[in-house]
Structure 1
Amino acid sequence: MAPPSLLLGPPEFRKPKPIAAATQTQWTDPFVDLMAANYNDSAKAPIIAPPMGFTENRSATFLSSGNPCVDFFFHVVPSTPASYFNQQLPLAWAHDDLTTLKLICNLRGVRGTGKSDKEGFYTAAFWLHKHHPKTLACNVASLAEFGYFKDLPEILYRLLQGEDVRKTQKAEWSMRKGGACRIGRRGRRGLNHLRPPYRGGVAPCGGSVSPSPPYYGGGFAPPAPYGGGPYGLRPPFGGGLRSSSSAVKGRRSSNRKGDVQSREARIKRAMERAQLEKEKASSLRREKKSSMAQKALGRYQRDPDFRFLYERVSDLFAECLKSDIENFNSNQYKKITLAAKWCPSIDSSFDRATLLCESIARKVFPRESYPEYEGVEDAYYAYRVRDRLRKDVLVPLRKVLELPEVYIGANQWGSIPYNRVASVAMKFYKEKFLKHDEERFKKYLEDVKAGKSTIAAGALLPHEIIESLNHGDGGQVAELQWKRMVDDMLKQGKMNNCLAVCDVSGSMKGTPMEVSVALGLLVSELSEEPWKGKVITFSARPELHLIQGGDLMSKCEFVRTMEWDGNTNFQKVFDLLLQVAVKGRLKPEHMIKRIFVFSDMEFDQASTNRWETDYQTIQRKYNEKGYGNAIPQIVFWNLRHSLSTPVPCTQPGVALLSGYSKNLMKLFLDNDGEVRPDSVMEQALSGEEYQKLLVLD
């Protein structure tokens, strides 16, 4: 446990108590009283408008909402660079520290209203440890609830190896993969020149070689097609042919023997070099392992903030594992957490880099509670409890959790309980399931289609499901996971009178466009009639589309190929809506009530007033046509890192959201209430899990 000196208590304990003012005679004057009443109240002070600028396409926009927390909530997406975190988090923390802590956890939230932005969360956690280490350390249990237990050793790992270690490893892996592909394409040809012309038997390296016809292999040219002479010409007839031929054959035989011997020598040298390289690589791995352990131990000994966080992580794993093994022994399996699943395995990369298994094992099996360890040398005690942690805790708990990795590692494909496989694991392993257990896995998928079984989809992002449509299973799993996701959200409510506007312009190329397609399609499927299955695009000639297609793949392709005319003229969408309303003389209550805008917020300039923002232009147009009370609520959903901010944080009728997760849509299911950027953010951070968070430094 942490020393008492590190326990600071909740934030309210740290607020200074108000000092009673000295009693003095109160003089009154009507003029002074009016001045104080009307100008000294900060609540009545004029609100300073946020700074303005232009989008990439020269449309006027705000560069901030006026609230640093709302800016962080709206601007941060999975592509946001670390420099923005380092710039914006101090501003948000100074504005409201507890709200900023909630926003950091909201980035990681897989459930509730979280954004499932794992990398963004790790970047923010890195900043939090640097500037507010006690706050990070004392909230580790809550952090595991927002994401999963594995986040905690991952944070320790990045603190030890560097913030960009995963990017570096990914780049190195890509280079190795590229090199392996090139070798794969040319490898056989490149290695065949080392193979001697054996006509059977075993090659020097132990591999069997197929028979080789005379003169082929070993670098010899094939016989001439029309006789023995060069260029296919017959030699001159005469008595010298036989003797000349014999001499040539003798020389060829001698050359071939010498060539074979030289090739055997080259192969032997190559094998010796390979053995040396193998030994060198093994030595480097041992040195790397030792270096990582030394780095972890050194950081633990000299850095009190890191040590405090390390101990809190170790405490959490130890407490959960001890509770889980008690529930296991009493057959209360439903109470077992996933701590055993995400606890580092003995000698895994996490364990080698953090030495976490030793710390956890010492707390699960403390020396003072187990007489068999009395008097045992500390190094031997550490070895024994690590092994005991594996055998007596991790192995039985992982087995009862029915983790697919346990069955895969034991080659027990036929025993995998597919209805227990998590959504991300299903996405990752489905092709292996088809390869090793095809009949039973296909039967499981048929049962899911028939409603006899279930498939998990909760932790996947909508665009991740769509991306897997082209995988080896033909998109069967993706179709079922998409249906499960839609059904789960419909159980929580529907979108009333809503329409999605999807930006599929050139600036959205890549992941943002896939997310725009996925979220737009999801809104259309959650909407009630008459808007169900409909979307509209940015375009000089926007059109309302009824999404065509009998399956998920065809629906996605339809949305991707919708016409956008090479621009993002946001105003034309509302011009069309107003035109339909005016032409049909619609009453305000019959107008569309809410519009989701999935975009990068880089709208085209459309107003003659250079400093009139897009939302101000919409307000003006609706007022001019007599529909000032029917301006639809607009949910600006940002999908690409940008400082463009459509409205200030206090603008009624607008919400500012961002990210790739569908979770924030839950705020609008069966919800026709008023919205405002700051109030929507507060609603997203109002869940029960957020109430456990505390700021301590």
Structure 2
Amino acid sequence: MSTPAAASTSQIITIPHIPELFDPDFLNVLLPPHPTTRVNLDKPVSKNTFMTALASVAHHKHTRNAAPAFSSTLSHTLDAFQSLSVQMPTERINAVLSKAWEEDPTLTLRIIWNTRSIHDGKGDKELFYKAFGWLYEHHPRTAIANLSQLVAPVCAVKSKPSKMPHGYWKDLLNILALATLEQLGAHPALFLHVPRGRASIQRSIGPSKMTTAERRAATTAEEFDALLAAKNQKAKTVARDRPFARKALRTSFRALYVAVARLFADELVQQAALMRRAELLSDGEERKSILGKVSLVGKWAPTPSASHDKVTNISTALAILLHHGGAMSSLSRPNDISVAISREDTLVLRSFYQRWVLTPLRAASRVPEPLMAAGRWAEVSYKRVASRCMHINSKHFIKHDSERFDAYLDSITEGKAKISGATLLPHELVAKAIAPLSFKHGRNSTGGSSVAAALRARIAKREAQVVNAQWDAMLSRLRSAGTLDNCLAICDVSGSMGDIYWHGPQPQPILPAVALSMTLAQLAKPPFANVFITFSADPEIVTLQEGLGLADNVQVMVRSAWGMNTDLHAVFVRLLLPLVVQHRVPREDMVKRLFVFSDMQFDAADSAGKNIGAWETNHDSIVRAYAEAGYDVPEIVYWNLADERETVPVEAERKGVALMSGFNPAMMKVFMGEDVEEILDDDTVMVNEEGEEIKPVSQKQEMTPLSIMKRALGMESYDNLMVLD
């Protein structure tokens, strides 16, 4: 009989006695609140005209292509909102967040959560972990108290009957593991990128040395090898468990550890109660309804001896909590919370937790991964496969369950079934769609037999169906949030944006630029639908073809004029402005808003130098050209896709402009269902000339980078975030 994984491990599975684990008030016990001290900032500052003038231009900076721009928006919170990037050095992330916190702690906390939010933000988990690392180090009470807001259902999604969380339960385990290994602010966070299989997290552990006595005790080569292997395994185990033992002494880490364990335990208790209710019922609608409420916490809860548990022993803490809370009542084991649990009892608790808590929950939620691992492909329910799982494993479904999977894809085409794809990012789908085209660009080999070639062709055809269906699902989710009216995308395809066929750990800007431009074009209402503009040296109008697959429409883009220049000025002044002047386009028929997807490293405008002595940016030059022609420039959304966001095109209060960043189209919801009105405070009283009170007339809020940031961060899903320290 095989030994359960929870028992057959060299891992040191016991944890120190943590009395706070059982205390709901653990945060105040471990990290008691301290009165805040405020520095007096009201002291008079002596002024000097020259130094004031010098300070006013300190943020002037040229792009890499010599165009005047700015190094800051002059708002630290806005700088954080639009500049944070996963490729940004940790030191710079910390500096940006520190300045933003000084300016507005509440907004900064929302900015940090916005980096993670799948449905209302950038959806960048690794960037969030870095930002959370800064918060955890400098404001641990705030960081830990708000962990629940990662997994609480707070994001309204119109196409879903219930609200969705900003992140997912695995975020809690990732944060805890990274904190244990001191990688929460590291770049890259090695724990998140360890190759699967035999690779060890502690890759630096070398072979252990044998003592003279040990060498003499080994009478045969086999005994020597066995002894050396055991010694190496022990060294690895000690090295792996040392960070946790050391960290457990820190109150901030203990608070984080307890918070994660208690969040999982509370949810698992609720889910176990649902399971017990369902077990009492025979098959029917009521039982089906109850099982439909089973969440994915069982899927993401830590598995004993799996990657997260190996470095944190969180399964032990969780099993102890569940036993203490009565969730494992049938287990006859001592429940003394005043002492540490023995290794023998720990083994029993962990095994019981895996067998009687995790396994039933995962079976009830029909998690596909255990079925796939067991080769039970025929039992996978494809309509319940999550979007990322489908994205990664579609080729395995085609290979191992071809007939059923083909039928499922055909039913999607016929409109009889749905596929999950709404939470995937557009550039991920575009990358997969054009992967077969990479063969033509020297990225792979097409060698092999004709049978292998036929198999590849069949897999490629079916995977294209999956990608197209997931693209449609993503667009459908976005359309449910509102409409994008009277707008066009402008896509930077210059040389600085990179190679669309290059796919590394982080995409080059060209891939999300193309993907987001296509997304916006397909979301826009007619007559602006399916049209956008590419620019490098010469701008070009691109029209997407309805009915073409995603890969074919990307090819339409690739065939447009791509060059080395980044001439934004040409789009506005050489293409759009002459067009409206020549055709005498009425103001009301002008395109209202333009989204510029770019790395923001624009060329200097042709008119640079005409206004000698002034710092005239590309945006200034465009506004001036339109004004001279008698037109207002359309509203412009500068969407920054650069790895490191070095410059910004405008300052915080510039009217008619927004600054956005990131790869998630969910941020477009800020511009959907608009005509947002400026609401006056409830205590505002307005009177007419006779002194009679009148009802205030709400006015449309003018678009500025600052107002759009506040709109994005003002969503209801962020309202429960609290600043505690």
TM-score, with length taken from structure 2: 0.74
Corresponding position of 1:30: none
Mean Cα deviation higher: 433-442 or 290-299:
290-299
Give the 3-state SS of the residue equivalent to 1:143 in structure 2.
helix
Partners in 1 of 2:190 and 2:167 — Cα distance? 24
Aligned 1:268-287 pairs, distance under 5 A: 280=228, 283-287=231-235
Residue-by-residue CA offset, 1:424-446 (whole Å, 9 max, x unaligned): 00011111111110000010011
Partners in 1 of 2:388 and 2:72 — Cα distance? 36
Mean Cα deviation higher: 549-558 or 374-383:
374-383
User: Does the alignment pair 1:631 with 2:636?
Assistant: no
Give the 3-state SS of the residue equivalent to 1:568 in structure 2.
coil
Residue-by-residue CA offset, 1:616-644 (whole Å, 9 max, x unaligned): 111111110111xx320100000002221
CA shift in 2, pair 1:591/1:417, >3 Å:
same
Q: Which one of the candidate residues 311, 323, 328 is aligned to 1:353?
A: 311
Query: Once the 2 structures are TM-superposed, how far is the Cα of residue 125 of structure 1 from its aligned partner?
Result: 1.3
Query: Once the 2 structures are TM-superposed, how far is the Cα of residue 5 of structure 1 from its aligned partner?
Result: 4.4
Query: One-letter code of the match for 1:162?
Result: E
Corresponding position of 2:142: 135
Q: Which one of the candidate residues 292, 298, 323 is aligned to 2:240?
A: 292
Residue-by-residue CA offset, 1:468-526 (whole Å, 9 max, x unaligned): 12374432211110011112222332221111100111111042101000000111111
The RMSD of aligned alpha carbons is 2.9
Partners in 2 of 1:176 and 1:410 — Cα distance? 19
Corresponding position of 1:460: 424
Residue-by-residue CA offset, 1:280-337 (whole Å, 9 max, x unaligned): 556434432233223212311x211100111011110111111110011112223322
Residue-by-residue CA offset, 1:17-44 (whole Å, 9 max, x unaligned): x9xxxxxxxxxxxxxxxxxxxx9xxxxx
Q: Which one of the candidate residues 451, 457, 469 is aligned to 2:415?
A: 451
Partners in 1 of 2:597 and 2:265 — Cα distance? 44
Partners in 2 of 1:290 and 1:684 — Cα distance? 46
Gaps of 5+ in 1: 19-38, 40-46, 178-271
User: Does the alignment pair 1:439 with 2:467?
Assistant: no
Query: One-letter code of the match for 2:601?
Result: E
User: Does the alignment pair 1:149 with 2:157?
Assistant: no
User: Does the alignment pair 1:493 with 2:482?
Assistant: yes
Partners in 1 of 2:481 and 2:27 — Cα distance? 45
Provide the aligned length of Structure 1 versus Structure 2.
570
Corresponding position of 1:579: 578
Partners in 2 of 1:62 and 1:161 — Cα distance? 38
Query: One-letter code of the match for 2:554?
Result: C
Corresponding position of 1:57: 65
User: Does the alignment pair 1:88 with 2:52?
Assistant: no
Q: Which one of the candidate residues 260, 267, 270 is aligned to 1:320?
A: 267
User: Does the alignment pair 1:303 with 2:250?
Assistant: yes
Give the 3-state SS of the residue equivalent to 1:373 in structure 2.
coil
Larger Rg: 1
Corresponding position of 1:536: 533
Residue-by-residue CA offset, 1:646-668 (whole Å, 9 max, x unaligned): 11111111110000111111112
Question: Retained in 1: the 8 A contact 2:319–2:353?
Answer: yes
Give the 3-state SS of the residue equivalent to 1:365 in structure 2.
helix
Q: Which one of the candidate residues 659, 664, 677 is aligned to 1:661?
A: 664
Partners in 2 of 1:555 and 1:368 — Cα distance? 57
Partners in 2 of 1:662 and 1:273 — Cα distance? 61
Corresponding position of 1:114: 121
Give the 3-state SS of the residue equivalent to 1:572 in structure 2.
helix
User: Does the alignment pair 1:503 with 2:492?
Assistant: yes
Question: Retained in 2: the 8 A contact 1:78–1:659?
Answer: no
Query: Once the 2 structures are TM-superposed, how far is the Cα of residue 380 of structure 1 from its aligned partner?
Result: 2.6
User: Does the alignment pair 1:372 with 2:361?
Assistant: no
Partners in 2 of 1:447 and 1:50 — Cα distance? 61
Question: Retained in 1: the 8 A contact 2:324–2:335?
Answer: no
Q: Which one of the candidate residues 546, 554, 561 is aligned to 2:552?
A: 554
Query: One-letter code of the match for 1:290?
Result: V
Give the 3-state SS of the residue equivalent to 2:639 in structure 1.
strand
CA shift in 2, pair 1:375/1:171, >3 Å:
closer
Give the 3-state SS of the residue equivalent to 1:537 in structure 2.
strand
Aligned 1:205-220 pairs, distance under 5 A: none
Query: One-letter code of the match for 2:180?
Result: L
Residue-by-residue CA offset, 1:232-254 (whole Å, 9 max, x unaligned): xxxxxxxxxxxxxxxxxxxxxxx
Question: Retained in 1: the 8 A contact 2:74–2:651?
Answer: yes
Corresponding position of 1:344: 302
Query: Once the 2 structures are TM-superposed, how far is the Cα of residue 677 of structure 1 from its aligned partner?
Result: 0.8
CA shift in 2, pair 1:408/1:174, >3 Å:
closer
Give the 3-state SS of the residue equivalent to 2:123 in structure 1.
coil
Larger helix percent: 1
Mean Cα deviation higher: 472-481 or 656-665:
472-481
Query: One-letter code of the match for 1:116?
Result: G
Mean Cα deviation higher: 631-640 or 673-682:
673-682
Query: One-letter code of the match for 2:181?
Result: Q
Question: Retained in 1: the 8 A contact 2:118–2:167?
Answer: yes
Q: Which one of the candidate residues 639, 651, 676 is aligned to 2:704?
A: 676
Question: Retained in 2: the 8 A contact 1:358–1:386?
Answer: yes
Partners in 2 of 1:527 and 1:367 — Cα distance? 52
Aligned 1:546-625 pairs, distance under 5 A: 546-548=543-545, 550-575=548-573, 576-606=575-605, 607-608=608-609, 609=611, 611-625=615-629
Query: Once the 2 structures are TM-superposed, how far is the Cα of residue 400 of structure 1 from its aligned partner?
Result: 0.3
Give the 3-state SS of the residue equivalent to 1:524 in structure 2.
helix
User: Does the alignment pair 1:687 with 2:715?
Assistant: yes
Give the 3-state SS of the residue equivalent to 1:689 in structure 2.
helix
Question: Retained in 1: the 8 A contact 2:30–2:251?
Answer: no
Question: Retained in 2: the 8 A contact 1:289–1:353?
Answer: no
Partners in 1 of 2:63 and 2:587 — Cα distance? 31
Partners in 2 of 1:50 and 1:440 — Cα distance? 64
Question: Retained in 2: the 8 A contact 1:637–1:656?
Answer: yes
Partners in 1 of 2:514 and 2:377 — Cα distance? 36
Partners in 2 of 1:117 and 1:171 — Cα distance? 15
Partners in 1 of 2:411 and 2:36 — Cα distance? 58
Question: Retained in 2: the 8 A contact 1:50–1:65?
Answer: no
Query: One-letter code of the match for 1:157?
Result: A
Partners in 1 of 2:315 and 2:587 — Cα distance? 64
CA shift in 2, pair 1:417/1:310, >3 Å:
same
Question: Retained in 1: the 8 A contact 2:422–2:475?
Answer: no
Query: One-letter code of the match for 2:134?
Result: W
Query: One-letter code of the match for 1:693?
Result: L
Partners in 2 of 1:375 and 1:551 — Cα distance? 60
Gaps of 5+ in 2: 1-22, 41-46, 48-54, 152-164, 200-219, 279-289, 437-458, 500-506, 677-701
Question: Retained in 2: the 8 A contact 1:504–1:560?
Answer: no
TM-score, with length taken from structure 1: 0.77
Query: One-letter code of the match for 2:232?
Result: L
Partners in 1 of 2:486 and 2:234 — Cα distance? 63
Query: Once the 2 structures are TM-superposed, how far is the Cα of residue 141 of structure 1 from its aligned partner?
Result: 0.6
Query: Once the 2 structures are TM-superposed, how far is the Cα of residue 530 of structure 1 from its aligned partner?
Result: 1.8
Give the 3-state SS of the residue equivalent to 2:332 in structure 1.
helix
Partners in 1 of 2:187 and 2:633 — Cα distance? 48
CA shift in 2, pair 1:166/1:539, >3 Å:
closer
Partners in 1 of 2:716 and 2:187 — Cα distance? 34
Query: One-letter code of the match for 2:332?
Result: E
Query: Once the 2 structures are TM-superposed, how far is the Cα of residue 68 of structure 1 from its aligned partner?
Result: 0.9
Q: Which one of the candidate residues 441, 455, 465 is aligned to 1:476?
A: 465
* Identical-pair percentage: 34
